[in-house]
Structure 1
Amino acid sequence: MHGGILGCASAAEAAGLWVMPFAGVHVWLTPTGHERAHDDCACVVHWSEALAFRRNRAVMTVPLALEQMAYCLGKEAFFVALESALHQHKISAEEISSLRALLPHGFDELFRLATVSAESGLESIMRYRLSLHGITVRGQISIPTVGRVDFVIDGWLIVEADGKGNHEGPEQRHRDHLRDAHAAALGYDTLRFDYALIMYDWPSVEAAILGRLRARAGRVVAG
């Protein structure tokens, strides 16, 4: 052990937030802590740079974990965890305001983009990455005869992010195909992407969505 407590992404994961894959165990140390490496140590050490210690309250919280993630892991990882915290009601409006004031101005756009509707990190990843192309998505939309879908773009393109284990088996695949058929009858196109595609082959996902938008709208989408 390092004489500290879980911090950053490790603390967020322990709190039940959806986090992107990360390396090592993130450990938070106060100024009086002592770093004590152990065999095969792959820990990432965080010192008391974040808001909880500034308030003389050396206790790991969801806002503190998010702040550490912002500085350590960057915008995308922060955004995914933020939306998970919002969806699970694990961060208050007051805490969001305090966190926003502490982070660089470049993170403001992420607070504006974030919603409470994202039911999985895959949805958050897609929302974030599509926003980089100027694409606005509507999330968790209910469509008659189809049901609730993950995203609708431009009022006609349904994009589904199928999580691990949620869409396996012949019965579930049949239900998915039936939903897609009902959507097509209403004039929607549907694109489905699984966990592996979204996490490990994003260029293929991106190309499919942008290509479908170009083909339907006849306009150029920034690449």
Structure 2
Amino acid sequence: MHHVHRLLDARGGAIATHELIDEGFGRRARERLIEGGVLRRARQGWFVRPDLDPVILMAVRVGGSLTCGHALRQHGVWALDHPEIHARVVHPGSRLRDERDSRRRRSAGSTAIVHWTRRPDEHERLVATVSDALSDYRRCVPEPWYLASLDSALHHAPLERDALRRAGHPAGTAGIDGVCESGTETMFWLAIRQLLPSVSRQKLIPGVGRVDFLIGERLVVEIDSREFHDIASGRAADRRRDLDLSLAGYRCLRFDYDQIVNHLDRVVAAVLAAVSRGDHLR
């Protein structure tokens, strides 16, 4: 690893001009690092690796670190897509720039969303922490989307529950406990749990495995995630699983990502209709 890359890693992935000078890299030395493909100038006074993720680079160009949904996905936390770049920027003192070209000042044509903060984090210069990203995401999206991401964070990092609660996130309350394995599962859970108290999550069925939801004795609800079920092997596995459930005496309702995100009311209505017919009873 190049010495400069170790310096970058020690400083959260971005290094300031004055920090390079302190390490003995004068103007000509910095130019050689750029010419040699070791460093990339992200904006005036700041440098990053040349292979930095373009999404992160755009947030750095604006003047801060990547936050909101894009940042959550960088941490492996489920979050819904949004096209804009969201940057967490320290206020005051930051001059906002265009996300496509840091030499230009931010104009009305910029689509980047800025989240101001007065608390700089020296160790998270590229991507906001999960807690900070969740705080920004909470202000940008409907409550169920935010809670689904919070639930995903708890699922992937259960030991962070207390830290998230101290930061003001309702971790461990109102059914947000990390049991669901994807954000779409959490969205369905939040919509259905008050209507059907008999819903169980992540229920183990002998000979089949763990299912997303079991209602009553025999109605299974499976929620397909976009990442796995959009590929042919995932769809084939789903069909084998549905066959096994039927052979074991269960009725399975399966819903995809688009149905949960964009037509959740119809999904809930379909499940309630199945229950009204007694599909959940032996």
TM-score (norm 2): 0.63
Secondary structure of residue in 2 paired with 1:196: helix
Moved over 6 A (4+): none
How far the C-alpha of 1:132 sits from its partner, in A, is 5.9
Q: Residue 2 of structure 1 corresponds to which residue in structure 2?
A: 62
Q: 1:176 to 1:7 in 2, by over 3 A?
A: same
1:77 to 142, 145, 150: 145
How far the C-alpha of 1:38 sits from its partner, in A, is 4.6
Does the alignment pair 1:63 with 2:107? no
Amino acid at match of 1:81: S
Gaps of 5+ in 1: 218-223
Does the alignment pair 1:182 with 2:242? no
Q: Residue 94 of structure 2 corresponds to which residue in structure 1?
A: 33
How far the C-alpha of 1:206 sits from its partner, in A, is 1.8
Q: 1:136 to 1:44 in 2, by over 3 A?
A: farther
Q: Residue 220 of structure 1 corresponds to which residue in structure 2?
A: none
**Residues in 2 aligned to 1:190 and 1:65: alpha-carbon distance in whole angstroms:** 36
Q: Residue 148 of structure 1 corresponds to which residue in structure 2?
A: 210
The answer (yes or no) to whether the contact 1:83–1:115 under 8 Å persists in 2 is yes
The answer (yes or no) to whether the contact 1:18–1:80 under 8 Å persists in 2 is yes
How far the C-alpha of 1:85 sits from its partner, in A, is 0.8
* 1:68-147 equivalences in 2 (<5 Å): 68-89=136-157, 92-99=160-167, 102=168, 111-131=173-193, 133=195, 135=197, 137-147=199-209
Q: Residue 22 of structure 1 corresponds to which residue in structure 2?
A: 82
Gaps of 5+ in 2: 1-60, 101-108
Q: 1:36 to 1:134 in 2, by over 3 A?
A: farther
**Residues in 2 aligned to 1:41 and 1:14: alpha-carbon distance in whole angstroms:** 23
**Residues in 2 aligned to 1:173 and 1:73: alpha-carbon distance in whole angstroms:** 31
Q: 1:38 to 1:117 in 2, by over 3 A?
A: closer
Amino acid at match of 2:115: H
Q: 1:2 to 1:91 in 2, by over 3 A?
A: farther
Does the alignment pair 1:161 with 2:235? no
Number of residue pairs matched? 204
**Residues in 2 aligned to 1:48 and 1:23: alpha-carbon distance in whole angstroms:** 22
2:269 to 202, 207, 211: 207
Does the alignment pair 1:191 with 2:256? no
What percentage of residue pairs aligned between the two structures are identical? Answer: 27
Q: Residue 48 of structure 1 corresponds to which residue in structure 2?
A: 117
